[in-house]
Chains A and B, each alone.
Chain A
């Protein structure tokens, strides 16, 4: 039964890892728009990742 001394902490560590991942996802805004996320997977093109390649040309001055 001494194996429990290793196994329980390992199990807890794995669980904490999952908890940490969830809290990170929550903090980084991935739960802000669940309805939108459900729809976005249906968009065909994948280039709509925000701010990946900022285009720096200024807007036209009118």
Chain B
């Protein structure tokens, strides 16, 4: 980026990550860089980034995949150019992380594509076999003897058998794996039904019989593959989101070497005793002691504490905290597995393991379903062969018809169809479902537990409006704003947010760890902390209250105090009230100090509030609730919440949360409002109802079809019609979830 271009506030910063190592050599001799881009949510972002990169001289290709948020940039020339690319995208306001495409979800996309190919083949075969079958049903065979019918059957076999062999593989593989593990999943009856139908139809065709079920077999495969593909896509999306978060979390550390040079190293490779440089605004990735420098540390994500803590030489800092105001040199005391951060992650994994593995409704049903179906078919065979007095071939024909008719086509679609509708609806409201079973678990929630900082509150300081003492007027405020516009310190940014129109003052010097200074003719004008300005508590007088503050000192005038607070989310009170109205118990668990927590609980009308909790304390409380048989929804964002998020029966995290929490949570919501909590519970309830209805429909269908099949009345035509009808009913029922959206939430668009 050349200096002539307009820069975002804060000036030309070096790129936050060193992407040079990730540059790859393409086949045509050019360079390729793959980046994950955070914060892309619409076509406009795609366009801005691609256009912005195209403006960089040398860039030949820039393509951003909106589904996976992956950006590919191609150029000819130096590897170092990667830095320019990263800086450009970051300059546009997006966070990026380089990655190696070969290491990320290659498996996943491959299996999704395989399903899609199978789906295409099955669809082709189903349409063409059906075309031929309709001729048979219409009586083509009766008119001109069975020669024509046999020919049509042979054509069907020609299409269906290769198609089944190809498109059935996902089911056959899974069924084989289940059988090897001596269990039965839904794929066992499916595979058995399809294979038996194909085999029997081939036999019928060869012997000139009328009962060829090729159409049923391929249509069945087609519908089942639709369900499987939808399911895979929803899960794949969730997984890629989680991976993206993890990748974003892995940040390189700047190690200062003995000869004074700097080296970027992954955190786990830093040895204790090494000296690490942490820039202002950077997240600290190791535990350590401050060797030199003096700054403020934001440990909100670790402890939930909103006040910044001063850190001078000798102070201990922890991985996961953020260095706010000035560069620090740290002597590393622990890295990787031994950091406080890793300790919390371990606690989280522990909680996750202790949590009983949730078995989805579909899985529970299929455990009963498979044996019942097989017994029914076996019973029909034995009954007709031994009691009914039929020849064993005919009895087998009936048994196979039972298997075909009961093939869990609608059951296989019942859950995925609803899930796709639900996650699509939630996605449009900025809520990302990460876990496949989250909807089912959300539907049975009866207790909601909130974290305070960053969840009920916005998690960033805002200027307290009533704070400036009367008499100082707006002129002090705008002067402070003009100074603050030159800094990236969170409090300064808060001042600027409060006064967006004030132009930045010139000639401002930032004194790291202290504040901002501008020399005027009358003397220095300073904006900064109390210690630096030499104000003791007495001078601060009655204003010395709670919370973070900034002081403005001007020559010859009384100092002015600006107080900041972490404001509640605008709709926090309404959401809590609505939850209570719906009969859910609401609790507040925070690591912050008691007065702050109780004040928030009081304002929101939350009776059960606990303050000063450690991460383990939160988990203990959640386990106590679980022991009472409560189903808890945990909403939290901090690192200290991560174990609790994993321990709760289901969890939700704002997208502003630390990466680990987002990974631990079952769903992530965007935006500054809290009402996604209501939305997600509402959609989950409705989805649950629809899933149950779908199962009901599928079972109802079986109640009618199985006796018919056992009685021997099912012909290929009846089987095909019944099966298609049940699948379409189930899909149609799932679509109702989408219909409600248009009526109930016209304001969903951002």
Q: Which residues of A contact B (CB under 8 A)?
A: 1, 4, 8, 11-12, 15-16, 18-19, 22-23, 26, 31-36, 38-40, 42-43, 48, 50-51, 54-61
Nearest chain B CB to A29 CB, angstrom units: 10
B350 within 8 Å of A (CB atoms):
no
Residue of A nearest to B54 (CB): A48
Inter-chain contact A15/B124, CB cutoff 8 Å: yes
Inter-chain contact A55/B127, CB cutoff 8 Å: no
Inter-chain contact A36/B65, CB cutoff 8 Å: yes
Q: Which 10 A-B pairs have the closest CB atoms?
A: A39-B43, A59-B58, A36-B66, A58-B77, A59-B81, A33-B65, A19-B124, A35-B66, A50-B61, A35-B67
Inter-chain contact A15/B43, CB cutoff 8 Å: no
Inter-chain contact B75/A59, CB cutoff 8 Å: yes
B439 within 8 Å of A (CB atoms):
no
Instruction: Decide yes or no: A59 and B65 within 8 Å by CB, A8-B132, A12-B159 being known contacts.
Output: no
Chain B residues near A12 (CB-CB < 8 A): 128, 155, 159
Instruction: A58 to B77: give the CA distance in the assembly, Å.
Output: 6
Chain A residues near B151 (CB-CB < 8 A): 4
Nearest chain B CB to A43 CB, angstrom units: 6
Choose the segment among B112-120, B477-485, B646-654 that binds chain A (4+ C-beta atoms closer than 8 Å): B112-120
Contact with A along B601-619 (1 / 0, CB 8 A): 0000000000000000000
Residues of B within 8 A of A (CB-CB), count: 43
Instruction: A59 to B78: give the CA distance in the assembly, Å.
Output: 7
Chain B residues near A33 (CB-CB < 8 A): 65-68
B64 within 8 Å of A (CB atoms):
yes
Residue of B nearest to A19 (CB): B124
Given contacts A12-B128, A50-B63, A59-B78, 13 further A-B contacts (CB under 8 A): A8-B132, A8-B155, A12-B159, A26-B120, A34-B67, A36-B43, A36-B46, A42-B43, A50-B62, A58-B76, A58-B78, A59-B75, A61-B78
Chain A residues near B261 (CB-CB < 8 A): none
Count: A-B pairs, CB below 8 Å: 89
**Interface CB pairs A-B, < 8 A, 6:** A1-B148, A35-B66, A36-B66, A40-B46, A54-B30, A55-B58
Residue of A nearest to B124 (CB): A19
B356 within 8 Å of A (CB atoms):
no
Chain A residues near B407 (CB-CB < 8 A): none
Instruction: A56 to B28: give the CA distance in the assembly, Å.
Output: 12
Instruction: A4 to B141: give the CA distance in the assembly, Å.
Output: 14
Inter-chain contact A23/B117, CB cutoff 8 Å: yes
Residue of A nearest to B120 (CB): A22
Chain A residues near B120 (CB-CB < 8 A): 19, 22-23, 26
* Among candidates B84, B116, B128, residue contacting A26 with C-beta atoms closer than 8 Å: B116
